[in-house]
């Protein structure tokens, strides 16, 4: 039975390690060390002993008959030291007891990313990112564990190097070191009223005390339309007009393809340089960049100039100064979309404009060729090139933080930060070329605003370790003050010279004004972390926030979480393939008042301009709003249970989380009867519940000298439900222009983003009209026949990344998609309605006629009759998709090559974005929303600027 063996296992510091597994290799026999690290067992000669403990490098020893074997285990730095940025500090990854997801610079490096939010897409379970349109610079919708709010915003809070900001569109992805997403409330509660939608902590790169590094990245790319929609040619169009009964001039025989005129090739270019370095006392990171993205549909473009300077100085041994400063300018031009062809929508106009028209009138007048059926319906080129407009956004975002070591383990940190932005939009429509321009003899608008947020923060941080007890505590406060000012002006009747675009030259000023807004908040927060021997964890946090926006200003939000390292339990020791297993749970309360206007609590008078009285007595006045002294912020209570599992020497990492998120006091504009002068009141009147499961699995599949293959897979299920609505039982959203009906409904029992409408029972073979189901069985067609017809929110979203490295080549394949969501394809209303002179898609070639009675396309009805294109199941399509979002192949040309010593690294790569998409959706693209990042109008397609397919070639070089 072997000989008795005893010994002690210690760490590098000589401390006994409890719970270390001591196993005879190839058997199930073994033991674990006691509280002091001692063990004893019987071993036969020649057997191999394996000492393993989570967070330490395992050791094997061949037993040769000794009585005592003492072992010192080395810490596995890879596992142990990996730290994660959390609220107001960092934590070792293995100690975390809340649901956080980390997206590091690897995810950003592998492909050309324009905005930071793109980097989050498909990379973290429970974080759903959708790009509602393919327009350059268009915002993304980021949802952490579903939507909790109707009005107050659903975007997470972004904290960049400690300062809260609302806009990260200008942040240079190349500057980002890591992003931590605090998903559950126990993690986010320390951010209180900012945190109901999760918190994204963005940490930018800083210098290190190594050799200075110069790096330069550039890429060039082009983008094209992924998929077209075919419309009628001139002959087919003429036949349709005859069927409708619209007089058609036989000389209109020209054929022009408006989609060719509209969808061109877009370009991207990016130049980024950074310099970093320093010594023990002071370090720097400086970067600058220029990026331009020109859309495939003109004139959309996005030009960004960025600058960053991050400095770290150790002025005294006890005093450190940390400066983070960034500035950017974004110039952008818009291509109007999500609108009908009669109301300026370029995409709809590309599809709906009669095919016989020219771009310009052929008489030298300089007019865009007027639509003979309705001259205000301009062709797409007129909408694209008619107006001259530019938006310029500037931002300076910076903090200076002082860190003072007061005593051993006790630090004081104080920071002052500012987020200063300016916005300007200028618009000019010349008096000649377009119908609208001629009507107004030129029209100009300008909008100018400045915003400043000042943030002052102080906190104490104390850590003490005695024996196996580690306690760290943190208390602090934050003051935030926002102030914004703006001006707007509109004028018409311009000089003939179309080079003169400034509004001072407008003969008539139609309107003008200024505005001023301010709000402030005060917060106190604290947190206590307790760690017992790396096995038991508990965290308590609280935040007390006060806001100037409310009458009841103050609210306290607690958070609590606990974790247990299950892998340290004795019974787990036989599962030797498990490196680490931790179970954790938490509960927390967070708030949301993003959507509250600064004056939301007040009853106000408003003004209107009237003819001056004699003597002057000011504008006319009327009641604007009801006061609401009871107004509160939205409160989200979230429970989270999760586990983190590491197996096979770190080759398999699995994380699972389940959550229940209850948002009460949801802010709603309660619809009072319109028989009052103010027909709505902002109040707390709803409850929304999100429930979900999240899985993420990261594996190292092959890892040898030649080939390394890793995959990251994440899968999220979220179920959203409106649990309660007070006062108003139902709200409608998403008015569709052509039929004037609402596409979405908010009602108790349904998720947000529910489609509402009639049930189409196909075309009546006798009349050629759509038959709608008499849902309420009252014998007539009426609005009571509307019912739930689809769901815009997906049941499941997923992301799947493969990294293959073979010698100097590497391949990154990133798949992403959603399942179980519907799309309301309102574009088809204007493409298959046949109610007026709009050109239609080729689907209408199969329209009902007495000769073609059995079809699913109704008759050409004309006369503006939209009865066949009511919001109905006819336009609901499955929006599930799987797409290869990005595929990158890169090659390391030089890597620490001694022959070319001045170049440290040189890599070239090619990336294809949206290379393929698997979907049944018939529109341009299934990743779409005409209502941008709205939470209640989801998955509506109405002439939305589609996603493009992009190819990018890039070079990264380091000196």
Partner 1 sequence: CEKFLDIEPTGNSIFIEERGDTIFRTANEAEAALSAVYGDFQNEYWQLDWLVNGDAQSDDAYAGADNPSNFQIDDYRIVATNSNVSRDWAYLYQTIGKANLLINNVEVTPDASFSEQRKKEIKGEASFVRAVMYFEAVQLWGDVPLQLKEVTSVSAAELDEIYPQLYPERKPMAEVYEQIIADLEYALANVKTTQPHKGFATKGAANAYLAKVYATIEPKDYNKVVEYCDAVIAGGYSLLPEFDMLWNNENENSPESIFEVNYAGTASDANWGSSMFRGTDWKKFNIPSNDLVKAFDDENDMIRKNASISFEDVTGKWSDANWPANSYPFMNKYRIITWPSPQNYILVRLADIILLKAEALNELGDVNGAAQLVNQIRGRADLPDTQASTQEAMRLAIEKERRLELAFEGKRWFDLKRTGRAIEVINNAIGPDGNKFGYNLTQNGLLWPIPQSELDKNELLTQNPGY
Choice between 212 and 513, CB closer to partner 1: 513
**Contact set for partner 1, span 863-902 (CB under 8 A):** 863-867
492 binds partner 1 (CB under 8 A): yes
Please identify, using beta-carbon distances, which residue of 363 and 706 lies nearer to partner 1: 363
Considering only 70, 511, 767, 920, the residue that binds partner 1 (CB under 8 A) is 511
Q: How far apart are CA 156 and CA 778, in angstroms?
A: 46
Q: Pick the binder of partner 1 from 36, 45, 242, 606 (CB under 8 A).
A: 606
Q: Are 725 and 686 in contact (CB under 8 A)?
A: yes
Residue from the set 78, 106, 254, 610 that interacts with partner 1 by CB under 8 A: 610
Residue with smaller CB distance to partner 1, 222 or 373: 373
Which residues make Cβ contacts (< 8 Å) with residue 698, sequence separation at least 6? 652, 653, 654, 710, 711, 712, 713
Query: Residue from 218, 458, 487, 548 that binds partner 1 (CB under 8 A)?
Result: 548
Of the residues 29, 166, 292, 599, which one makes contact with partner 1 according to CB under 8 A: 599
Answer for which of 277, 627, 853, 932 binds partner 1 (CB under 8 A) is 627
- Applying CB under 8 A, which part among 239-247, 415-423, 878-886, 893-901 lies near partner 1? 239-247
Longest CA pairwise span in the chain (Å): 114
Q: Which of 402, 420, 528, 603 binds partner 1 (CB under 8 A)?
A: 603
Q: β-strand 917-919 against 176-182: which pairing, if any? A: unpaired
* Residues near partner 1 (CB under 8 A), total: 96
Asked if 923 and 827 touch (Cβ cutoff 8 Å), the reply is: yes
**Residue 624 found at the interface with partner 1 (CB under 8 A):** yes
| C-beta neighbour count of 487 within 10 angstroms | 14
CA dist., res. 919 & res. 823, Å (int) = 12
User: CB of 756: closest distance to partner 1 in angstroms?
Assistant: 11
Residues in 461-490 that interact with partner 1 by CB under 8 A: 479, 481
Nearer to partner 1, 26 or 783 (CB): 783
Beta bridge partners of 708: 703, 805
Which residue has tokens 């090559």?
897
Measure the CA–CA gap between 410 and 597, rounded to whole angstroms: 40
CA dist., res. 175 & res. 53, Å (int): 37
Q: Considering only 69-77, 140-148, 390-398, 541-549, which stretch makes contact with partner 1 by CB under 8 A?
A: 541-549
Is the C-alpha dihedral spanning 555, 728, 671, 623 positive or negative? Answer: negative
Identified binder of partner 1 from the candidate list 4, 65, 570, 620, rule CB under 8 A: 620
- Name residues contacting partner 1, limited to 521-540 (CB under 8 A): 521-522
- Tell the smallest beta-carbon distance from residue 244 to partner 1 (Å): 9
416 binds partner 1 (CB under 8 A): no
In three-state secondary structure terms, 223 is strand
**Ramachandran angles phi, psi of 267, nearest 5°:** -130, 150
3-class secondary-structure state, position 118: helix
Eight-state DSSP code of residue 676: S
Site for partner 1 in 281-310 (CB under 8 A): none
Nearer to partner 1, 316 or 516 (CB): 516
Phi-psi region of 46 (alpha: psi -120 to 50; beta: other; left: phi over 0): left
Among 2, 256, 533, 546, binds partner 1 (CB under 8 A): 546
Query: Could you write out the DSSP letters of every residue in 904-930?
Result: SEEEEEEEEES--EEE---SS-SS--T
Identify which of residues 34 and 239 has a Cβ nearer to partner 1 in the complex: 239
Least Å from the CB of residue 250 to partner 1:
13
- Of 26, 46, 779, 783, the residue at the interface with partner 1 (CB under 8 A) is 783
The answer to whether the CB of 870 falls within 8 A of the CB of 858 is no
Contact (CB, 8 A) for 30 and 24: yes
Interface with partner 1 by CB under 8 A: which range of 74-82, 164-172, 277-285, 516-524? 516-524
Q: Cβ of residue 309: shortest distance to partner 1, in angstroms?
A: 31
Asked whether 56 and 18 are in contact (CB, 8 A), the reply is no
Our CB check for partner 1 shows the closer of 564 and 875 to be 875
CB 102 → partner 1: shortest distance, Å?
35
> Residue 407: which residues within 8 A CB-CB, separation 6 or more?
none
Cα gap 303→137, rounded to integer Å: 9
Q: List the structure tokens of 387.
A: 């107006």
Give the one residue of 254, 574, 609, 895 binding partner 1; rule: CB under 8 A.
Answer: 609
Alpha carbon distance 941, 62 (integer Å): 68
How far is residue 525's CA from residue 192's CA, in Å, rounded to a whole number? 8
Check residue 629 for interaction with partner 1 (CB under 8 A): yes
Q: How far is the CB of 482 from partner 1 (least distance, A)?
A: 10
* Chain CA centroid to CA 18, Å: 44
Q: Determine which residue in the list 466, 499, 675, 777 makes contact with partner 1, applying CB under 8 A.
A: 675
Tell me how far apart the terminal alpha carbons of the chain are, to the nearest angstrom. 63
Binding mask 552-581 toward partner 1 (x if CB under 8 A, else -) reads: -x----------------------------
744 binds partner 1 (CB under 8 A): no
Q: How far is the CB of 394 from partner 1 (least distance, A)?
A: 24
| Closer residue to partner 1, CB minimum distance, 142 or 489 | 489
Closest CA to 633 of 664, 604, 660, 669: 664
Q: Which is nearer to partner 1, 214 or 518 (CB)?
A: 518
- State which residue, 520 or 699, has the beta carbon closest to partner 1: 520
423: nearest Cα among 447, 454, 455, 458: 447
DSSP letter string over 237-275? HHHHHHHHT----TT------HHHHH---EEEEEEEEEE
Which CB atom, from 366 or from 729, has the smaller least distance to partner 1? 729
- Residue 245 sits in the site that holds partner 1 (CB under 8 A): yes
Specify the stretch interacting with partner 1 by CB under 8 A; choose among 132-140, 384-392, 609-617, 893-901.
609-617
Q: How far apart are CB 495 and partner 1 at their closest, in Å?
A: 17
Residue whose C-alpha is closest to residue 718's, from 801, 788, 658, 783: 658
Q: Of residues 341-400, which lie at the interface with partner 1 (CB under 8 A)?
A: 342, 370-377
Q: Which of 58, 269, 414, 439 binds partner 1 (CB under 8 A)?
A: 439
Nearer to partner 1, 679 or 920 (CB): 679
- Beta carbons within 8 Å of 224's beta carbon, 6+ residues apart: 263, 265, 266, 296, 948, 949
User: Is 635 one of the binding residues for partner 1 (CB under 8 A)?
Assistant: no
């Amino acid at each position: 039975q072997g000989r008795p063996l005893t010994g002690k296992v210690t760490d590098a510091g000589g401390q006994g390690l409890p719970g270390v597994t001591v196993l005879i290799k190839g058997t199930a026999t073994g033991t674990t060390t006691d509280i002091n690290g001692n063990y004893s067992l019987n071993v036969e000669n020649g057997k191999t002993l394996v000492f393993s403990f989570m967070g330490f490098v395992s050791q094997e020893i061949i037993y040769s008959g000794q009585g005592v074997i003492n072992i010192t285990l080395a810490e596995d730095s890879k596992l142990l030291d990996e730290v994660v940025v959390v609220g107001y500090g960092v934590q070792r990854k293995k100690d975390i007891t809340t649901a956080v997801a980390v997206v590091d610079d690897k995810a950003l490096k592998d492909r050309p990313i324009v905005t930071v939010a793109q980097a989050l897409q498909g990379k973290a379970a429970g974080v759903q990112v959708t790009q509602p349109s393919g327009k350059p610079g268009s915002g993304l919708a980021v949802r952490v564990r579903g939507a909790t709010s109707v009005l107050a915003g659903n975007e997470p809070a972004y904290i960049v190097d400690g300062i809260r900001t609302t806009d990260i569109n200008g942040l240079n992805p190349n500057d980002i070191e890591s992003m931590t997403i605090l998903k559950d409330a126990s993690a986010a509660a320390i951010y209180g009223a900012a945190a109901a939608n999760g918190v994204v902590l963005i940490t930018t790169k800083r210098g290190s005390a190594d050799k200075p590094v110069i790096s330069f990245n550039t890429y060039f790319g082009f983008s094209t339309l992924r998929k077209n929609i075919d419309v009628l040619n001139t002959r087919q169009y003429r036949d349709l007009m005859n069927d409708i009964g619209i007089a058609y001039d036989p000389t209109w025989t020209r054929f022009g393809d408006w989609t060719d005129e509209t969808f061109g090739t877009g370009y991207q270019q990016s130049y980024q340089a950074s310099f970093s370095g320093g010594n023990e006392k002071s370090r720097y990171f400086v970067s600058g960049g220029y990026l331009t993205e020109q859309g495939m549909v003109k004139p959309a473009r996005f030009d960004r100039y960025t600058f960053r300077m991050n400095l770290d100085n150790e002025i005294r041994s006890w005093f450190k100064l940390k400066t983070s400063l960034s500035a950017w300018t974004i110039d952008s031009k818009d291509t109007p979309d999500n609108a009908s062809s009669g109301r300026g929508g370029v995409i709809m106009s590309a599809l709906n404009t009669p095919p016989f028209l020219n771009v310009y009138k052929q008489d030298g007048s300089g007019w865009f060729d007027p639509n003979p059926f309705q001259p205000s319906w301009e062709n797409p080129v007129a909408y694209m090139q008619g107006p001259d407009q530019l938006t310029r956004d500037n931002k300076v975002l910076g903090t200076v933080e002082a860190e003072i070591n007061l005593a051993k383990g006790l630090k004081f940190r104080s920071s002052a930060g500012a987020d200063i932005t300016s916005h300007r939009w200028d618009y000019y429509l010349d008096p000649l070329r377009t119908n609208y321009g001629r009507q107004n003899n030129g029209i100009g608008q300008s909008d100018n605003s400045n915003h400043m947020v000042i943030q002052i923060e102080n906190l104490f941080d104390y850590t003490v370790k005695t024996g196996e007890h580690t306690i760290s505590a943190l208390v602090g406060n934050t003051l935030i003050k926002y102030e914004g000012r703006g001006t707007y002006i509109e004028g018409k009747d311009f000089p003939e010279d179309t080079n003169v675009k400034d509004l001072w030259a407008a003969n008539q000023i139609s309107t003008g004004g200024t505005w001023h807004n301010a709000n402030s908040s005060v917060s106190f927060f604290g947190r206590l972390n307790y760690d017992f021997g790396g096995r038991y964890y508990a965290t308590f946090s609280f935040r007390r926030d006060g806001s100037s926006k409310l009458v009841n200003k103050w609210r306290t939000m607690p958070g609590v979480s606990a974790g247990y390292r299950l892998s340290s339990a004795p019974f787990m020791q036989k599962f030797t393939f498990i490196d680490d297993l931790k179970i954790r749970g938490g509960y927390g309360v967070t708030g949301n008042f993003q959507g509250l206007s600064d004056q939301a609590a007040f009853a106000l008078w408003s003004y209107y301009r009237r003819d001056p009285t004699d003597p002057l007595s000011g504008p006319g006045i009327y009641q604007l709003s009801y006061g609401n002294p009871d107004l509160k912020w939205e409160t989200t209570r979230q429970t989270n249970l999760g586990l983190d599992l590491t197996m096979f020497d770190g080759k398999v990492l699995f994380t699972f989380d389940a959550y229940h998120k209850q948002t009460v006091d949801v802010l709603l504009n309660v619809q009072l009867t319109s028989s009052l002068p103010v027909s709505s009141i902002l109040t707390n009147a709803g409850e929304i519940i999100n429930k979900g499961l999240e899985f993420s699995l990261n594996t190292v599949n092959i890892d040898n000298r030649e080939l390394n293959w890793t995959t990251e897979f994440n899968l999220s299920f979220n179920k959203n439900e409106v649990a309660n609505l007070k006062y108003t039982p139902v709200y409608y959203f998403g008015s569709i222009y052509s039929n004037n009906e609402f596409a979405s409904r908010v009602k108790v029992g349904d998720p947000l983003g529910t489609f509402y409408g009639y049930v189409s029972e196909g075309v009546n073979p006798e009349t050629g009209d759509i038959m709608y189901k008499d849902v309420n069985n009252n014998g007539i067609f009426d609005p009571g026949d509307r019912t739930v017809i689809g769901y815009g929110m997906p049941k499941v979203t997923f992301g799947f990344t493969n990294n293959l490295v073979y010698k100097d080549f590497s391949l990154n394949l990133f798949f992403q998609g959603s399942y179980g969501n519907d799309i309301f394809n309102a574009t088809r209303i204007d493409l298959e309605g046949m109610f007026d002179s709009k050109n239609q898609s080729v689907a209408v070639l199969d329209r009902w006629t007495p000769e073609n009675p059995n079809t699913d396309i109704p008759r050409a009805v004309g006369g503006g009759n939209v009865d066949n294109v009511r919001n109905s199941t006819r336009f609901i399509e499955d929006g599930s998709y799987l797409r290869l979002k990005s595929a990158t192949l890169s090659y390391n040309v030089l890597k620490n090559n001694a022959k070319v010593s001045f170049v440290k690294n040189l890599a070239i790569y090619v990336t294809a974005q949206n290379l393929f998409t698997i979907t049944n959706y018939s529109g341009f693209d299934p990743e779409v929303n005409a209502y941008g990042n709205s939470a209640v109008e989801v998955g509506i397609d109405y002439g939305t600027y589609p996603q493009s397919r992009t190819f990018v070639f890039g070079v990264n070089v380091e000196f």
